[in-house]
Amino acid sequence: MASHHSHLQGGRVDISLIQTTARNNLISLLEKCSGPKAIVWDNSLAGPVGLIAQYAVLREHSVTKMFPLRPKSLPEADVAHVIFITRPKLHLMDYVGQNVHADSRAKTKKQYHVFFVPKKSLLCMERLKHIGVFGSINLVEEFRCELFPFDADVVSMEISDVFREYTLENDPTYLYQTAQAIIFLQKLYGPIPKVWGKGAAARQVWDLVTRLQREKNNNVTTRPNQTSTIDQILLIDRTVDLITPLATQLTYEGLIDEIFGINNSTAHFPIDNFLSSEERTSESLSEDKKQIILNSADKLFADIRDKNFNAVGAFLSKQAKTISTQLDNTQERSVQEMKLYVQKLPQILVKKKALSHHTAIAECIKEVTDSYDFLDTLQTEQEFLNCIEVDKASPYIEDLIAHAKPLVKVLRLICLQCITSSGLKPKVLEHYKKELVQVYGIQALLAITKLEKVGLLKIQSGTRQYTVLRKALRLTMEDTSEINPTDISYVHSVYAPLSVRLAEQVTKNGGWKQLQDVLGLLPGPTLDESPAIPNTLAQNNSDAPQVVLVFFIGGCTFAEISALRFLSQQEDSNVEFLIATTKLINGTSFLESIIEL
């Protein structure tokens, strides 16, 4: 088991605690049903729960079968219990209903249970009653798992609808859940004595945290005087920085996500690049995708994930050289050296394997990044970010539309142009709209309307916020090195994530006081509070690094994580960042979650 969570430890805040808590929680729920059991997973959960308890653990607790939750009857299974583990979503309740109906018709003597993650919902239970299966369900439990551990410094709630629900639908359900996640973190790691935040959602979440804290304190009379392990929390409402997710990520991990998609620390690559030439020609290919787990348990990955992709190639070839020197010239060694060498050999071989994997991945990426398509898009993006030609319809975008390139890709660029021009000229927006509807059909109008509603598309108004922000926060940097960066802007090659600039300022003397004017330009209220904490055990000595929890409400990108890591790795930095998010996103997945296509 130790190896399973080793990548979660190492920071000042031990993230493996989250894993252990959740796993124990799940196990104690499973133990309520004795005998062999089948778990039916809500698809959005099977992956994240894997981060908590692998199948082996579940099998130890007599989980013999696992099925995805689908709107059709369950496969045959000789079990005593069927447990549905699901998010409280209405359409999933219908699936549960169909499953139970079909299965119980088979007259098997099974017990059915529903575990909601992380919270029961009245509407879902009503729905189950309405379908007429509520009576057949034995246990309705809550699997209180608000956060999933991704790495020693990253946790995520893994809910992709958060941003859409609180902006577009004005539904605060997930803000409440976010607040509960923060309460949970405070329970594990002690109260947080300093709060920063920007944006309406940040304000609302923190208000709810305060409220829940009070409610909780009211029920628990004996609370241990926990010391604070987290010194500050910074809540960032994604609405405050919509630019960053739209810009293409240029870090290694970011690019993997942009091109191949990373889900629950796992990515799939075209298998060709991973095979030797003989293997490639042989026809016995069982799979067409290579699955690779990407987290800091892989030391090489930990070294390169945050680098700009342009620095990765050189790094990998240097590694390759070291390994080959280690492996070569075995002849001229003494017996002593030989012994040492043999001892180290397994490690070296592991390294070699990792190296070959990442070299293959890098090749896959390079194929894409060298394409004109990618480069042209990037160039357009960077022009926008530098406020070049933002006020008229972009010929490049027009070309993309004319070629009927994927709608989301086009919208991503239009949205970026819109933000960087602080709103589009009415004529330009109108033109884009017409073009989009003519090419992609009337459904494009629905997508556009949604983007307008969340503020990603809008008409230019008086002030040019972006122009001011760009200067004040140094959002675009010229001449930054991609190989030996000195500023966070390396993660997008020219653009420094606005969100991370805010985080950067928090750690500096004077905090956000310096930013008064800038903060006024960003939407929503500003939080700068020091909640009263019983028995201020909080103050740790000022020499120890400060742990700052940055909580992204509405999602965060890998590039943002890399930028934050970069900040804490600076020599003069006395900060360690812990990143929490409602979902790990990139521009495409972000827009898709909004327009629901």
Judged by CB under 8 A, does residue 401 bind another protein? yes
| φ, ψ (nearest 5 deg) of residue 130 | -60, -40
Sign of the C-alpha dihedral, residues 168, 173, 174, 179?
positive
Q: Which is nearer to another protein, 345 or 404 (CB)?
A: 404
CA torsion angle for 496, 501, 503, 509 (degrees, to 10)?
A: 140
Query: Between residues 246 and 444, which has the closer beta carbon with respect to another protein?
Result: 444
Query: Is residue 179 a contact point for another protein (CB under 8 A)?
Result: yes
Residue with Cβ nearer another protein (91 or 105): 91
Stretch that binds another protein, among 98-106, 118-126, 244-252, 295-303 (CB under 8 A): 118-126
Query: Which is it for strands 111-116 and 154-156: parallel, antiparallel or unpaired?
Result: unpaired
559 touches another protein by CB under 8 A:
no
Phi-psi region of 199 (alpha: psi -120 to 50; beta: other; left: phi over 0): left
Does 121 sit near another protein (CB under 8 A)?
Answer: yes
Which of these segments, 202-210, 320-328, 412-420, 482-490, binds another protein (CB under 8 A)?
202-210
Q: What angle do CA 484, 486, 488 make, to 5 degrees?
A: 110
Helix/strand/coil for 262: strand
Cα distances from 236 to residues 340, 572, 585, in angstroms, run 50, 24, 15
State the binding string over 217-236 for another protein (x if CB under 8 A, else -): xxxxxx--------------
Subset of residues 465 to 504 that bind another protein, contact rule: CB under 8 A = none
Taking the complex as a whole, the smallest distance from the CB of residue 129 to another protein amounts, in Å, to: 12
**Residue of 59, 403, 427, 513 interacting with another protein (CB under 8 A):** 403
Would strands 266-270 and 262-263 be described as parallel, antiparallel, or unpaired?
antiparallel
By CB under 8 A, the count of residues binding another protein is: 48
Shortest spacing between CB 53 and another protein, in angstroms: 27
Three-state DSSP at 272 gives helix
Specify the residue, 30 or 407, whose C-beta has the smaller distance to another protein.
407
Q: Is 399 in the site for another protein (CB under 8 A)?
A: yes
- Kindly write down the DSSP assignment for every residue of 84-101, as one continuous string: EEE-S-HHHHHHHHHHHH
Closest to another protein by CB, 63 or 456 = 456
Give, in order, the Cα–Cα distances in Å from 254 to each of 242, 249, 495, 507, 526. Answer: 17, 5, 14, 25, 29
Give the one residue of 54, 438, 481, 536 binding another protein; rule: CB under 8 A: 438
Contact string (CB under 8 A) for another protein, positions 356-385, x = contact = ----------------x-------------
CB 566 → another protein: shortest distance, Å? 28
| Cβ at position 177, least distance to another protein in Å | 9
What gap in Å lies between CA 448 and CA 441, rounded to an integer?
12
Residue 232 contacts residue 326 (beta carbons within 8 Å): no
At its nearest, how many Å lie between another protein and the CB of residue 218? 5
Regarding 443 and contact with another protein (CB under 8 A), the answer is: yes
Q: Nearest approach, Cβ of 405 to another protein (angstroms)?
A: 12
| Only segment of 32-40, 121-129, 314-322, 565-573 that touches another protein (CB under 8 A) | 121-129
Residue 446 corresponds to which tokens in the numbers above? 């629905």
Beta-carbon-side half-sphere exposure of residue 88 (alpha carbons within 13 Å): 22
Q: What is the DSSP letter of 489?
A: G
Kindly state whether residue 353 participates in binding another protein, applying the rule CB under 8 A.
no
List all residues 6 or more positions away from 225 whose beta carbon is below 8 Å from its beta carbon: 534, 535, 537
Distance CA 104, CA 204 (A): 44
Tell which one of 1, 24, 90, 368 touches another protein (CB under 8 A).
90
Among 368, 446, 459, 544, binds another protein (CB under 8 A): 446
Least distance CB 433 / another protein (angstroms): 7
Buried b (16+ CB within 10 A) or exposed e, 561-593: bbbbbbbbeeeeeebbbbbbbbbbbbbbbbbbb
Query: Which of residues 172, 511, 524, 525 is near another protein by CB under 8 A?
Result: 172
| Distance from the Cα of residue 573 to its chain's centroid | 25
Among 14, 363, 398, 487, binds another protein (CB under 8 A): 398
| From 116-124, 148-156, 267-275, 571-579, span contacting another protein (CB under 8 A) | 116-124
Residue 125-144 contact track with another protein, rule CB under 8 A, x = bound: -x------------------
Using CB under 8 A, which of 440, 495, 558, 566 touches another protein? 440
Q: Binding string to another protein for residues 151 to 170, with x set by CB under 8 A, is what?
A: ------------------xx
What would the two tokens of residue 529 be?
């509070």
Please spell the DSSP secondary structure of 217-245, one letter per residue: HHH------PPPS--EEEEEEGGG--HHH
Q: Where are the alpha helices (DSSP H) in 370-464?
A: 372-385, 395-402, 407-420, 426-440, 443-454
Counting contacts by CB under 8 A, is residue 427 touching another protein? Answer: no
CA distance 60 to 23: 13
- Nearer to another protein (CB atom), residue 179 or residue 469: 179
Q: Does 459 bind another protein (CB under 8 A)?
A: no
How many residues would you count in the chain?
597
Residue 345 or 445 having the CB closest to another protein: 445
Task: Tell which one of 175, 491, 564, 580 touches another protein (CB under 8 A).
Answer: 175
Task: List interacting residues with another protein (CB under 8 A).
Answer: 90, 119-123, 126, 169-173, 175-176, 179, 204, 207-208, 211, 214-215, 217-222, 372, 398-399, 401-404, 430, 433-435, 437-443, 445-446, 449
